[in-house]
Amino acid sequence: ETGVTQTPRHLVMGMTNKKSLKCEQHLGHNAMYWYKQSAKKPLELMFVYNFKEQTENNSVPSRFSPECPNSSHLFLHLHTLQPEDSALYLCASSQVWGPNENEQFFGPGTRLTVL
């Protein structure tokens, strides 16, 4: 699991705060993903980046803003969140193609609480 790291592991923020989640992968992958995992819903895909380009935005509210400066790093910028945004945010990476293209490797997640 050290192949994909996420910081911070826990975050508590108010609705007017601005914060960022960071993900870094050390696996040489070229695709990165953000997922939201909450108690009431299955794992929800939020964003997909292939070769630093966003290829999927799963109707995510604009208060979540992703950034992928290179293939190894992925950020999720947060502003004016709502309490219902409290969840575990998971980052994952994979190869875009090749024999292991479908195996996604996940980070440990950031547990976000919005007050």
Partner 1 sequence: AQSVAQPEDQVNVAEGNPLTVKCTYSVSGNPYLFWYVQYPNRGLQFLLKYITGDNLVKGSYGFEAEFNKSQTSFHLKKPSALVSDSALYFCAVRAGGRAAGNKLTFGGGTRVLVKP
Contact positions vs partner 1 (CB under 8 A):
1, 4, 6, 31, 42-43, 45, 48, 50, 55-56, 90, 92, 94, 96-97, 101-109
Q: State which residue, 25 or 78, has the beta carbon closest to partner 1.
A: 25
Q: How far is the CB of 41 from partner 1 (least distance, A)?
A: 8
> Smaller CB distance to partner 1: residue 64 or 106?
106
CB neighbours of residue 56 within 10 Å? 13
Q: Is 17 left (phi over 0), alpha (psi -120 to 50) or beta?
A: beta
Sequence-ordered list of residues with C-beta below 8 angstroms from that of 41, at least 6 positions apart, any chain: none
CB of 28 to partner 1, least distance (A): 16
Q: What is the dihedral of CA 76, 18, 15, 47, to 10 degrees?
A: -10
Question: Closest approach of Cβ 30 to partner 1, in Å?
Answer: 10
Closest separation in Å from C-beta 56 to partner 1: 6
Distance set, CA 95 to CA 19, 32, 56, 102 (Å): 28, 9, 16, 7
Closest CB to partner 1 among residues 16, 59 = 59
